[in-house]
Structure 1
Amino acid sequence: MGAAEEKFIKSGKLSLWTERFGDRGDPVVLLVMGTSTPGLGWPDDLVDTLVAGGRQVIRFDHRDTGRSDCVDFTTDPYTLADLAADSLAVLDAYDTLSAHVAGASLGGAVGQWLAAHRPERVTTLTAIMTSPMGTDAGPIWVRALSGQAPDPDDLPPPAPSFLEHLMRAAAVPRITREEYIAANVETWRVLSGEVLPFDEAAARRLVEESYDRAGNPAAATNHDLAGRAMTADRRAPLSSIKAPTLVIHGTADPLLPPPHGAALAARIPGARLETIEGMGHSFLSPDLPRRVAELILRNTAQ
């Protein structure tokens, strides 16, 4: 891992932890992580591959994760637009007018929001293991958890293996550090799917570092609440996105099955869909971070 510049930046009243890698003259790739995961969720191998490919890389801890500030969601709720505003604040702090934006899962929805509402700030968009930002997953999950058949007009629900894991996990205590780590490693195991090898050591490092860096590990669950808030701005037509877009999706994603990625690519003019055989809903398989980084490099060679 190369030398990084770390600094805290301001987004409104919040302080967000950030770090930057690479040559300051190279094009910027802003990495936006997914639900409940700090910037370290972007593996070092992925960052190193981007830097070696001539990119300057910025990753950061979302609010409510890592070393960034936590929020009392009850009194100060936030939405996808607020997470997008945090991303813009990071770019502003690094004097970056426009960046290649790569987002994973919820971060992919943030990237869509930026490309639709602030197109001048997005040079290219890479959306990884995500779904159209206007998709209301609530009814889909309700039908799945209640045993009802999926609505044929909806995108598919999570795989039964993931829903069964959620039911089991609800009864598992997460009071001590050890309980938290064991439970979250198991969640990453299920999210990673059943095809590619699961890098348990990498998952454990991520979970341990996420826990140890966080001021309040429980605050990260606020991302689920923010992700469910279907505000009007999320209904913006994806057909308005002009940034060259690459959608990367795994064929074994148990949280957002492949039709989610296909639907997103179909709604953005000129978007390309790149499927990775066996990839689930994580980067936690040997050599997978490098493969994803190489796809990002190709999309950002604009």
Structure 2
Amino acid sequence: MQTNLIDIDGVQLHTEEFGDPAHTPILLIMGSMTQGVLWPDAFVGRLAAGGRRVIRYDHRDTGRSSTFDFAEHPYTWEDVTDDVLRVMDAYGLDSAHLVGHSAGGLLGQLIAVRHPERVRTLTVIGSSPLGGHEGEVLMRALMGEPQPEGSLPPPRPGFVDHYRKVIASPPPEGRRERIDGMIEEARVLHGAALPFDEDAERRLQERVHERARDLAAAANHRLAFAAKPDFEPEGVLHQVKAPTLVVEGTHEPVKPGHGAIIAERIPGARLLMVEGMGHTLPPETHEELAGAILAHTATRT
């Protein structure tokens, strides 16, 4: 593994590179408020062993990347989208295979629409379609309000109950309480179909805490989205030209059924339902996920 701290336009982004630099590049884009290490090492290793140059990175305000005083240096999700291109530019990549998880999948979709020449293939995991207003769907679910006809399917009740509990609870005090809270969130996101390894999750969350410049800065992602909530254009997914693989777990708690909608709206997209998977990437899914991505990215080298 090679690490780099790239500095473009006053933004430092911490990146990690795996595999042979001469191999076909895959750029992994994690979801909002999360570090690049949420892409499991073993999963990344499978992709690299399959002949891919794999790059993952920390979003701004997460991990070892730049953190900002949002009041003095506000930004929007447009800027977070541009960070994906900044990483590609720093590695000299005119194009790459983009693999995005959750909100990272939204970023991948947007780049595929706006910069089709830079996307060899697109893989979207546990995400929602551009312009789907998933935040509004979540808020209505939290308030117990009915969803309008034609809106995205709401989160599952277990996730909604957990989110309500988090909102109603005081902020955690101290490292141990914060880590315990993240473990409980991971348990809900994981789903009940596959075993949940609490010890492994604790090690991961301790790693997340240890490598963060400022753990609280990740909350700026919410402010960035609120600053320009219309950054997701509607009715544009038919413009995606890149071959697209859409992945959803059969036990997805946050965005159930959203994968099928994405696959329906992108011409020629293929939907892969992974048995037992929730909103995380547990070891039991790595072989199937990596195999599917390696086959998908082999279509355009």
Aligned to 1:218: 216
CA distance in 2: counterparts of 1:94 and 1:214, whole angstroms: 23
* Paired residues for 1:8-87 under 5 Å: 8-87=5-84
> Which consecutive residues of structure 2, in runs of 5 or more, have no partner in the other structure?
none
% identical equivalent positions: 47
Corresponding residue number in structure 2 for 1:238: 237
Give runs of aligned pairs for residues 136-215 of structure 1, distance below 5 A.
136-170=133-167, 171-215=169-213
Instruction: Report the Cα distance in structure 1 between the residues aligned to 2:115 and 2:219, rounded to whole angstroms.
Output: 27
Residue type of the partner of 2:180? A
- CA distance in 2: counterparts of 1:236 and 1:213, whole angstroms: 39
State the alpha-carbon separation in 2 of the partners of residues 127 and 40 from structure 1. Answer: 18
> How far apart, CA to CA, are the structure 2 residues paired with 1:161 and 1:189?
11
Offset at residue 60 of structure 1 (A):
0.5
RMSD of aligned C-alpha atoms?
A: 1.5
Q: Deviation string for 1:162-207 (max 9, x for gaps)?
A: 1111122231542211111000010000011111111223322221
Please say if 1:121 is aligned against 2:118: yes
3-state SS of the aligned residue for 2:263?
helix
Q: CA-to-partner distance for each residue in 1:77-128, whole Å, 9 max, x for gaps?
A: 3333211211111111111111000000010001001101011111000000
Q: Letter of the aligned partner of 1:252 in structure 2?
A: H
> 1:269: which partner in 2?
267
Task: Could you tell me which runs of 5 or more consecutive residues in structure 1 were left unpaired when the two chains were aligned.
Answer: none
Describe the superposition over 1:258-300 as per-residue Cα deviations: whole angstroms up to 9, x where unpaired. x2111111111100000111211111x3322332111111110
CA contact (8 A) 1:122 1:243 kept: yes
- The answer on whether the counterparts of 2:130 and 2:232 sit within 8 Å (CA) in structure 1 is no
- Counterparts of 1:78 and 1:44, CA distance in 2: 30
Q: Distance in 1 between matches of 2:259 and 2:150?
A: 16
Q: Which residue of 1 aligns with 2:252?
A: 253
Using the size of structure 1 for normalisation, the TM-score is 0.94
Secondary structure of 1:66 counterpart: coil
Question: What SS does structure 1 have at the residue aligned with 2:130?
Answer: coil
Identify if the C-alpha distance between structure 1 residues 178 and 130 changes in structure 2 by more than 3 Å, giving closer, same or farther: same
Shift, 1:234, TM fit: 3.0
Deviation at 1:156, TM superposition (A): 1.4
Q: Does the Cα contact within 8 Å between 2:179 and 2:205 map onto a contact in 1?
A: yes
Question: C-alpha distance in 1, partners of 2:118/2:71?
Answer: 31
Q: Secondary structure at the match of 1:248?
A: strand
Alpha carbons 2:61, 2:67 under 8 Å: kept: yes
Aligned amino acid, residue 218 of structure 2: A
- Cα distance in 2, alignment partners of residues 186 and 144 from structure 1: 20
TM-score of the superposed pair, with normalisation by structure 2? 0.94
AA aligned to 2:229 is M
Number of residues paired by the alignment?
A: 297
Query: Does the 8 Å contact 1:197/1:286 carry over to 2?
Result: no
Q: Write the distance in 2 (CA, Å) between the matches of 1:296 and 1:226.
A: 30
- The Cα of 1:159 is off from its aligned counterpart by 1.2
Counterpart residue number, 1:297: 294
